[in-house]
Amino acid sequence: MTFNTFKLDPRLQAGIQRAGYTVPTPIQKQAIPAAMAGQDIIGTAQTGTGKTAAFVLPILHKLLQGERRQHRALIVTPTRELALQIHEAIQDLGQGTGIRSATIYGGVGIGGQIKALKGGAEILVACPGRLLDLINQGHARLNKIEILVLDEADRMLDMGFLPDVKRILGHVPPKRQTMLFSATFPREIEDLGRAYLYQPHRISVDLAAPATTVTHALYPVSQHLKTPLLLELLKSTDTNSVLIFTRTKHRAQKVTRQLEQANYKVTALHSNRSQGQRTEALTGFKKGRYQIMVATDIAARGLDIESISHVINYDMPDTADAYIHRIGRTGRAERTGDAFTLVSPEDEVMVRTLEKIMKQKLHREIVTGFNYKAPAPPRSAQTDRPTSRAPRRDGMGGRPARSSNGHGARPNERAYSQTRTSAGNGSTNGHSNGQRPQATAATATPAASRPARPNSYAPNGKAGGSRPGNGRPANGRPGGKPSNGNRRPTGGGNRNGGSRTR
């Protein structure tokens, strides 16, 4: 079977050949004909099985007929990286067709996205949060959508986007084609499909087991020896491109620094990096400027980088599904790859779970010549988080202790009941600089005996009024509405303001 079997629009053949597609993958064999026939689809397939082309090609085929310069297809996806990946696939497969795609996601300026929407891009590839922002602002109208794709639906569920997805579904026409793709199929996704899809065609490919094209190996090692063992593996293994997964972004940054110090060309991908930095890291890794990328699970879904020869789990993931998605970055599209996992004693439960799913014993490997008995360094050298922090208000570098009055008050913030604000300059207890005096055991006044401050007002008979040291009312706004005297000012920021980042 070849792609010619599908009888796609001839204008798509150039893009298919350019992408190097010859024989369809199992998910493509089943999904493309059903999608071209206009059926709703629920597809369950591992990441890395060619799922993106399975829905992009039928969309392009349909959009080549009918009106242009209006939004006719919407693809909703959980992450910016995956949105960009799908956008690139549309550009590659649809080159020369004139069909345009626009990406909608947070973390970047909104102006360019508004411009793309006004230009009438036929396909929108969007993350839920920013898309809802643009809908609510009146910039995005989905009343002409003919095809809706929910990609990585289980990941959107994990990230808490299911309510947003349901709101988006309320903005698209009820008469549409809907395709839902998910690597796993929990009950919530089953309910979503039942509620919003019409007699869906069910497709299940390689469910709940790692790809057979990947070779697995476990490397037992103590936690403090993981980085030395990682360096030894990289030195002794013939690799092309290597993707290393860590559990936290702080550890990802630390491992990146350690590999840089060992003179490897390495980059990092995690949520502390800006969108520009993440895009540069992905582009550089794809083009070979970086041999190694260290990432958190943000990179475990949907990223299509064919040259990855090895995936190394620096940390064992929390679930078997997460392991499957991670190692799916190699051995893609029926190519071969290797997955190494550095395991500590606490990972044995997850190892047994994986062996049960894979129905085989995973090989434990020992690196010849590596010193597994090296002692752990001092504790301060093992921390993954930065140790330098801005000083806290208590001046002690940590959270102030709760006061003995039983109210959880911070001593230097509430034990000022005996201070009085001077009428002339707002100074406190004769302190001309207006600084709040530090409370001590000798000076603190018990809560029950605190006198009310002058010129104060508070509801329910509680003391309120001016805060010492700033000469302002307790609510932080001169002349503003008085507030409860026990409540600290919250400031003027709107915690929900601005665009959400998804």
pLDDT in tens, 393-446: 333 334 444 443 444 433 333 333 333 333 444 444 444 444 444 444 444 444
- At residue 253 the predicted structure's pLDDT band, cuts being 50, 70 and 90, is very high
N-term to C-term CA, the chain: 39
The mean per-residue pLDDT over the stretch 226-241 comes to 91
Q: Which residue has the higher pLDDT, 26 or 39?
A: 39
What is the C-alpha to C-alpha distance for residues 293 and 486, in angstroms, rounded to an integer? 50
Q: Which of 118-122, 373-377, 426-430 has the lowest mean pLDDT?
A: 426-430
**Backbone φ and ψ of 337, nearest 5°:** -160, 170
Identify the pLDDT of residue 211.
55
Quick check: 138 pLDDT over 80? Answer: yes
Cα-only R_g, the chain? 29
Other C-beta atoms within 10 Å of 266: how many?
Answer: 21
- At residue 44 the predicted structure's pLDDT band, cuts being 50, 70 and 90, is confident
Identify the pLDDT of residue 469.
43
> What is the SS3 assignment for 301?
coil
What is the C-alpha to C-alpha distance for residues 93 and 42, in angstroms, rounded to an integer? 23
Q: β-pairing, 472-473 with 466-467?
A: antiparallel
The mean per-residue pLDDT over the stretch 310-323 comes to 85
The mean per-residue pLDDT over the stretch 462-488 comes to 43
Average pLDDT, rounded, for the chain: 76
Identify the pLDDT of residue 381.
53
- At residue 270 the predicted structure's pLDDT band, cuts being 50, 70 and 90, is confident
The mean per-residue pLDDT over the stretch 474-479 comes to 44
What is the C-alpha to C-alpha distance for residues 70 and 120, in angstroms, rounded to an integer? 5
Identify the pLDDT of residue 186.
78
State pLDDT tens for residues 2-15: 888 898 988 998 88
Q: Which residue has the higher pLDDT, 242 or 300?
A: 242
What is the C-alpha to C-alpha distance for residues 221 and 372, in angstroms, rounded to an integer? 7
The mean per-residue pLDDT over the stretch 253-264 comes to 94
What is the C-alpha to C-alpha distance for residues 384 and 373, in angstroms, rounded to an integer? 22
What is the C-alpha to C-alpha distance for residues 113 and 139, in angstroms, rounded to an integer? 9
- At residue 335 the predicted structure's pLDDT band, cuts being 50, 70 and 90, is low
Both tokens of 40, joined, read 């709703």
Identify the pLDDT of residue 107.
82
What is the C-alpha to C-alpha distance for residues 268 and 293, in angstroms, rounded to an integer? 5
Identify the pLDDT of residue 50.
80
Identify the pLDDT of residue 356.
82
C-alpha dihedral, 289 to 291 to 292 to 293, nearest 10°: 30
Q: Which residue has the higher pLDDT, 132 or 241?
A: 132
> What is the SS3 assignment for 349?
helix
Identify the pLDDT of residue 390.
43
Give 421's DSSP letter: B
Q: Mapped to the 3 state alphabet, what secondary structure does 482-498 carry?
A: CCCCCCCCCCCCCCCCC
Residue pair 83/152 in contact (Cβ under 8 Å)? The answer is no
- At residue 149 the predicted structure's pLDDT band, cuts being 50, 70 and 90, is very high
The mean per-residue pLDDT over the stretch 242-249 comes to 90
Amino acid symbol at 372: Y
Q: Which residues pair with 149 in a beta bridge?
A: 75, 179
The mean per-residue pLDDT over the stretch 323-347 comes to 76
Give me the residue spans of the domains in the chain: 3-205, 214-374
Q: CA–CA distance from 321 to each of 185, 210, 305, 309 (Å)? A: 11, 9, 20, 21
* Its pTM surpasses 0.85: no
Q: Between 3.30.565.10, 3.40.190.150, 3.40.50.2020, 3.40.50.300, what CATH number should domain 214-374 receive?
A: 3.40.50.300
Looking at domain 3-205, its CATH superfamily turns out to be P-loop containing nucleotide triphosphate hydrolases (3.40.50.300)
Q: Which residue has the higher pLDDT, 434 or 289?
A: 289
Q: Do 3-205 and 214-374 agree at the fold level?
A: yes
What value, to the nearest 5°, has the Cα angle with vertex 274 and ends 269 and 278? 35
* Residue bearing tokens 């959508």: 145
Identify the pLDDT of residue 145.
95
Torsion region of 132: left, alpha or beta (phi above 0 gives left; psi -120 to 50 gives alpha): alpha
Other C-beta atoms within 10 Å of 208: how many?
Answer: 14
> Residue ranges of the alpha helices (H) in 380-452?
411-414
The mean per-residue pLDDT over the stretch 313-338 comes to 73
- At residue 51 the predicted structure's pLDDT band, cuts being 50, 70 and 90, is confident
* Element (DSSP H or E) covering residue 216: strand 214-220
